[in-house]
Amino acid sequence: MHITNVSSRKVLGTIATSAALVAATVLPAQAKAVPTPKPSSSSVADTIAAHESPAASRAAIRVALKLRVVNVAKSRDAKGRYMPGGTGPWSFDCSGFVAWSWKQIGVELPHNAAAQFKATTHIKASALQPGDLVFTGNKSGGINHVGIYVGNGMMIHATNPGASQKNQVRLTPITAKWLHIKGYGRVKF
């Protein structure tokens, strides 16, 4: 997983203002120390390093990027359809949907739910933030499904509900009994 320089340039333009807004609302104790990042052709790391409070800026930028992933994913709610092996932009399987959503901000993830679990930092349910991944499976088996946590106890995922014609990207409560949560992961970037 990495952020490419080309994608970093694209991302910097979209997060310049949102990083400061997120810092002011999500990180109120540090809000005064976080200057508004200026878009440039430098990498995200260079932008972070150029500010007075790198830790606060880095946190604000990460939050802004994760919120961007959530917004990208939500743009496919009830529009994207399930297709085995699908990688987007309108047909997905579960891991293809997650990989496509993160790729829109320049972060590469493998196209397999179990491989995505291995590629993330494992976290507890109490630490979930929008943009984190939710991994599920059957009662006795391993991980075979993944979605993106969007907040308020909900995840968005490409689901295959069987013979139903409503195979689609959709929001689902993470408390749904049929999910059988196997773990949670934070994408490293």
End residue of a domain, out of 44, 72, 100: 72
Q: What's the pLDDT tens digit per position in 65-86?
A: 999 999 999 998 888 888 889 9
Instruction: Specify whether 113 is located in the same domain as 44.
Output: no
Q: Which residue has the higher pLDDT, 116 or 9?
A: 116
Q: State the helix-helix crossing angle for 54-74 and 5-26, rounded to 10 degrees.
A: 100
Evaluate if residue 179 carries a pLDDT over 50. Answer: yes
Q: Domain check: are 66 and 96 in the same one?
A: no
Give the residue with greater pLDDT, 186 vs 22. 186
The band of 53, judged by pLDDT with boundaries at 50, 70 and 90, is low
Same-domain status, 86 and 55: no
Q: ∠63-152-34 over CA atoms, to 5°?
A: 20
pLDDT over 50 (residue 13):
no
Query: Are 58 and 95 part of one and the same domain?
Result: no
Q: Are residues 156 and 175 in the same domain?
A: yes
Q: What is the CATH number of the domain that holds 148?
A: 3.90.1720.10
In this structure, the answer to whether residues 140 and 84 fall within a common structural domain is: yes
Which of 17-21, 42-46, 64-68, 155-159 has the lowest average pLDDT? 17-21
Tell whether 22 and 54 lie within a shared domain.
yes
38 and 90 both lie in a single domain = no
Q: Span 5-20, mean pLDDT?
A: 40
Question: Confidence band (pLDDT; 50, 70, 90) for 162?
Answer: low
Q: Are residues 142 and 88 in the same domain?
A: yes
Helix residue spans in 77-121 (DSSP H): 94-103, 113-118
Q: Which residue has the tokens 């293809």?
A: 96
The 10s digit of each residue's pLDDT in 82-115 is 888 999 898 999 999 999 999 999 999 999 999 9
At residue 87, the pLDDT reads 92
Domains in the chain: how many in total?
A: 2
Q: Is there a single domain that holds both residue 106 and residue 160?
A: yes
CA distance to 24, 59, 67, 79, 187, per residue, from 16 (Å):
13, 13, 13, 29, 21
| 67 and 159 inside one domain | no
Tracing tokens 């972070």 back to the chain, one arrives at: 48
Mean pLDDT of 54-64: 82
pLDDT of residue 46: 52
Residues 6+ apart with CB under 8 A from 189: 1, 2, 3, 62, 65, 107
105 — phi, psi (to 5°)?
A: -110, 10
What is residue 3's predicted lDDT score, i.e. its pLDDT? Answer: 45
Could you give the C-alpha distances from 66 to 70, 76, 161, in angstroms and in order? 6, 16, 27
- Per the structure, the complete domain to which residue 118 belongs is given by 78-187
Q: What percentage of the chain has pLDDT greater than the value 90?
A: 49
Q: Which of 52, 72, 92 is the last residue of a domain?
A: 72
Domain termination residue (choose one: 22, 47, 72): 72
10 shares a domain with 84: no
Most confident of 6-15, 43-52, 86-95, 143-152: 143-152
Beta carbons of 112 and 123 less than 8 angstroms apart: no
Structure tokens at 11: 């991302």
Q: How confident is the model at residue 161 (pLDDT cuts 50, 70, 90)?
A: low
